[in-house]
Amino acid sequence: MASFNSYVVFGVLVIMASGAVMARDVDPIKANNCETKMTLHCVNEVFASIFKTGIVTDHCCIELIGLGKFCHDALIKKTLENPLFKNNDTSVILSRGAQVWNKCTLVKKDVSPSPSPYKEG
């Protein structure tokens, strides 16, 4: 149950962090709709694999690749700027983020689209 709470905290932190930008600055996370491209379940799974220990399922890898590398990197960097994560080793977190991304690009290449159960004609 405690791990679920940490996932919820992460989601709240991402939302808070993206809203804490000065009005004159354009927030690249908001500008690229990074917050709306993944399900909360997959956000939690990816977060746990980068900031804790865990694995990312193939389904969530597909969502992560759909999110895009720019958003993936921007969300990690934004999370590291939060005071709650100041004790994390930035180089370790960035390395884990890169490992997750690289793993997911391989999964995306291995997973072919399922044929449609509906036949045309």
pLDDT at 90: 94
55 belongs to a structural domain: yes
**What is the pTM (predicted TM-score) of this model?**
0.69
Does residue 100 contact residue 47 with C-beta atoms inside 8 Å?
Answer: no
2 belongs to a structural domain: no
31 belongs to a structural domain: yes
116 belongs to a structural domain: no
Does residue 80 contact residue 48 with C-beta atoms inside 8 Å?
Answer: no
Does residue 88 contact residue 42 with C-beta atoms inside 8 Å?
Answer: no
CA distance 30 to 53: 28
14 belongs to a structural domain: no
118 belongs to a structural domain: no
- Domain tally, the chain: 1
CA distance 88 to 80: 8
Domain that includes residue 79, residue range = 26-111
73 belongs to a structural domain: yes
pLDDT at 121: 41
Spans of the chain, pLDDT less than 70: 1-24, 110-121
pLDDT at 28: 87
CA distance 11 to 103: 23
pLDDT at 112: 53
16 belongs to a structural domain: no
